Amino acid sequence: MNTEIEAIPAGAVIGILGGGQLGRMLATAASALGFRTHIFCPEADGPAAQVSDLETVAAYEDEAALTKFAQSIDVATYEFENIPLRTAEIVAALCPLRPGVRSLEMTQDRLIEKNFVRDAGATTANFADIVNVEDCAAALEQIGAPGILKTRRFGYDGKGQLEIKSCASAADVEKAFADLGRVPLILEQKISFVCEISAVIGRALDGRMAIFDMVRNVHQNGILYTSTVPANVDRVVIASAQDVTTKIAAALDHVGVLAVEFFVTEEQSVLVNEIAPRVHNSGHWTIDACDTDQFAQHIRALTGMLLGDPARHADAVMTNLIGDDVADAATLQEMADTNVHLYGKSETRPGRKMGHVTRVSPLSK
């Protein structure tokens, strides 16, 4: 059906489910485009609410609060994929939710996501659904050891993951089950990769897409540490990753920004690791190095505008400030070609993303 697209006018209110740093940077981008923002999240005084016009502090299960929220806004979006599906459905019934429920549904559960990715024509690591301890040994043999046992849901920043070696005993597997909380699991083949890259893409209401330059990512303790652009990988790798990313965005009928993380193998093939149906940490460099950054792009998409130009005017290295790293912020702020972005979190905790720093340098090509 080819429906006429009606742009959401300046002055309208964008509701954001989730109140963390992604919501903060989305709210700021929205304000530059003349929109107001209304944050819905369970915790008061989060990073996003500090820079937003309106805030509702309520649980994602609070239907009355969600209804009031959805009725008071012009369009809704979400800043993370672990809000309950039911929450998204309640909001979507009352106002446009962009991206839609499907983008959440396909990416909240690793098993559903992996099957979706394969159906979309992309490659992933071998994987198997694991219901009980007995499944695991057979699966390990089938997909190839070592494997990584992951919770199907609510995993992020390396949480909910344990490596299972080929020599794992039933007792070891039993312990892993217990440690992961006896929730539904997936076993993934551990990939021996050359590097990790990610693609951040914007997709408009009319289906047109604009992709940012591919970045190379380095993780530490399961958490993204640096993103570097250009990624310095082979052209064929870039082309494959771009192709897969556009296929995934289209298959989700996604509206807004989406990120796809890839493993690049020795043989130059790209395996989809994870999809994030939202703005992504590996796209933060776009604030300092692109004409349109990922946050502005997301707002443009969900308000029905044409996408902005994702062209890059500088090389960039983004480094996360995790936990106590933030103590270096003042020093980093004094360095040349360096922009520090802090998230307004009052409490520093180990593993907590407190901010990021982007160092730019002249375009290398």
Helices 170-179 and 133-143 meet at what angle, rounded to 10? 110
CB of 13 to a second copy, least distance (A): 10
Exactly one of 93, 236, 333, 351 binds a second copy (CB under 8 A); which one? Answer: 333
Is residue 280 at the binding interface for a second copy, with CB under 8 A as the rule? no
The answer to whether residue 27 forms part of the interface with a second copy (CB under 8 A) is: yes
Angle at the Cα of 197 (from 195 to 198), degrees rounded to 5? 165
By the rule CB under 8 A, 178 interacts with a second copy:
no
The answer to whether 355 contacts a second copy (rule: CB under 8 A) is yes
Q: From residue 250, how far is each of 108, 120, 203, 316 by CA, in Å?
A: 18, 9, 8, 28
- Separation CA 212–CA 116 (nearest Å): 23
Tell me the backbone φ, ψ of residue 70, rounded to 5 degrees: -65, -30
- Tell me how many degrees the CA angle 188-191-194 measures, rounded to the nearest 5: 155
Residue 219: CB minimum distance to a second copy, A: 24
Residue 312 DSSP one-character state: B
Residue 44 binds a second copy (CB under 8 A): no
- Token pair of 247, please? 């296929």
Task: Report 7-26 residues binding a second copy (CB under 8 A).
Answer: 7, 9-11, 24
CB 224 within 8 A of CB 281: yes
Evaluate the omega torsion of the peptide bond into residue 146 and state whether it is cis, within 30 degrees of 0: yes
CA distance 68 to 75: 13
Say whether residue 266 binds a second copy (CB under 8 A).
no
Q: Choose, by CB under 8 A, the member of 83, 252, 270, 326 that binds a second copy.
A: 326
Applying CB under 8 A, the span of 62-70, 182-190, 268-276, 304-312 interacting with a second copy comes to 304-312
Which residues from 216-255 bind a second copy, rule CB under 8 A? none
179 binds a second copy, rule: CB under 8 A: no
- Smallest distance, a second copy to C-beta of residue 342, A: 3
Nearer to a second copy, 47 or 277 (CB): 47
The site for a second copy (CB under 8 A) is made up of 7, 9-11, 24, 27-28, 31-36, 49-53, 288, 291-292, 300, 305-306, 308-309, 313-314, 326, 329-330, 333-334, 336-337, 339-344, 346, 355, 360
